[in-house]
């Protein structure tokens, strides 16, 4: 008799870390098949088509989901290209139904959220609740993945809240809410450690004997956070990428979004300085422009090679 394989965990923390890693992997895999970031119509179609093995006509789907007919047709075509939906004829009607891959996709969605099939099929309201739950889970875990990568690849293995909020494109308070779900004491899984440090201005003023200036919130990965990061494909890619290491030395960050943002700041600042120098006639710009073009081109090439 062949027994099922089960992973062996040293303790509950490792089990929770592995569970979160699995959840992150599944969510990112599902998102690569149906791009949640571009809306949830494709997901709504998958959930509706899962209600019947026979399938539905596009008109029936448009009415059931309260969507435009053209939008439904476009989404169905994309799902067909991905192998999740198939079209067939029955009695002169063109029907759409899930393929085996589509049903597998649907079942993985249910499993990751712990929802029974019967519960997801109850009503349009149940489908909407289900979709909102998937959206919430995916957004939350996307932020956690970005934070893990950004903090781990920071120059000193730490990152301030302002930078993380910029990465998330959220307010500092909102970004802190997501991070504190995995950083506060008493949480079942702590991935981040939060602490405060004086800002650069406060350190300068303190050196001059002036006790003024802001304190900044910083985050660093805990041992569980590092363990999770080391299991991610981004860790291996970053570790063996010389261009990425060089860009981190230049920008102090390693997350692709932050690197591109800081490169854009460096390049735009340099262009502004050259424009000002040209305007005041301070220098002949032929040589500086040539050097600057070579430098910026090198930075952009490094970014393309790294990411």
Question: For residues 202 and 6, which has the higher predicted lDDT (pLDDT)?
Answer: 202
What would the pLDDT profile of 163-212 be if each residue is shown by its tens digit?
A: 999 999 889 999 999 999 899 887 778 899 999 999 888 888 888 888 88
Together in a domain, 151 and 85: no
Domain-terminating residue out of 90, 122, 154? 122
CA dihedral of residues 155, 161, 162, 168 (deg, nearest 10): 90
pLDDT of residue 149: 94
For residue 272, the enclosing domain spans: 241-307
Helix (H) or strand (E) holding 175: helix 172-180
Residue 37 carries which DSSP code?
Answer: G
Tell me the C-alpha distance between 80 and 46, whole Å: 11
Together in a domain, 140 and 180: yes
Together in a domain, 118 and 82: yes
- Model's pTM, two decimal places? 0.66
What would the pLDDT profile of 62-113 be if each residue is shown by its tens digit?
A: 998 888 999 999 999 989 998 999 999 988 889 999 999 988 888 877 776 6
Tell me the C-alpha distance between 223 and 220, whole Å: 10
Supply the DSSP string of 195-262, one letter for each residue. Answer: EEEE-HHHHHHHHTT---S-EEEEEEE-HHHHHHHHTSHHHHHHHT-HHHHHHHHHHS--SHHHHHHH
pLDDT of residue 69: 93
What would the pLDDT profile of 141-162 be if each residue is shown by its tens digit?
A: 888 989 999 999 998 899 999 9
Q: Per-residue pLDDT for 122 more than 60? A: no
Q: How confident is the model over 223-227, as a mean pLDDT?
A: 90
Together in a domain, 204 and 105: no
Q: How confident is the model over 44-55, as a mean pLDDT?
A: 87
pLDDT of residue 10: 38
Together in a domain, 66 and 77: yes
In a domain, 283, yes or no: yes
Tell me the C-alpha distance between 161 and 179, whole Å: 9
Together in a domain, 130 and 105: no
Number of domains in the chain: 3
Q: Are 164 and 261 in contact (CB under 8 A)?
A: no
In a domain, 21, yes or no: no
In a domain, 150, yes or no: yes
Domain-terminating residue out of 232, 267, 299? 232
């Amino acid at each position: 008799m062949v027994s099922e394989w089960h992973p062996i965990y040293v303790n509950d923390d490792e089990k929770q870390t592995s569970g979160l890693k699995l959840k992150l992997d599944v969510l990112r895999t599902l998102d690569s098949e149906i791009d949640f970031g571009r809306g949830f119509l494709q997901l709504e179609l998958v959930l509706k088509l899962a209600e019947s093995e026979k399938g539905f006509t596009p008109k029936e789907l448009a009415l059931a989901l309260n969507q435009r007919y053209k939008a439904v047709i476009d989404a169905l075509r994309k799902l067909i290209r991905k192998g999740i939906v198939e079209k067939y004829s029955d009695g002169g009607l063109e029907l759409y139904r899930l393929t085996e891959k589509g049903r597998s996709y649907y079942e993985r969605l249910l499993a990751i959220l712990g929802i029974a099939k019967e519960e997801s099929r109850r009503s349009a309201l149940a489908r909407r609740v289900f979709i909102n739950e998937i959206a919430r889970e995916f957004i939350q875990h996307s932020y956690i993945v970005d934070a893990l990568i950004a903090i781990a690849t920071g120059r000193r293995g730490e990152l301030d809240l302002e930078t993380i909020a910029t990465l998330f494109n959220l307010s500092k308070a909102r970004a802190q809410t997501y991070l504190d779900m995995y950083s506060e004491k008493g949480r079942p899984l702590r991935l981040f450690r939060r602490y405060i440090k004086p800002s650069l201005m406060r350190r300068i003023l303190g050196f001059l004997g002036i006790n003024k200036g802001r304190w900044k919130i910083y985050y660093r990965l805990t041992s569980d956070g590092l363990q999770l990061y080391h299991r991610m494909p981004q860790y291996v890619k970053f570790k063996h990428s010389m261009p990425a290491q060089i860009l981190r030395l230049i920008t102090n960050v390693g997350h692709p979004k932050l690197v591109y943002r800081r490169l854009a700041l460096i390049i735009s600042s340099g262009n502004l300085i050259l424009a000002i120098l040209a305007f005041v006639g301070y220098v002949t710009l032929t040589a500086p422009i040539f050097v600057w073009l070579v430098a910026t081109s090198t930075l952009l090439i490094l970014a393309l090679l790294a990411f």
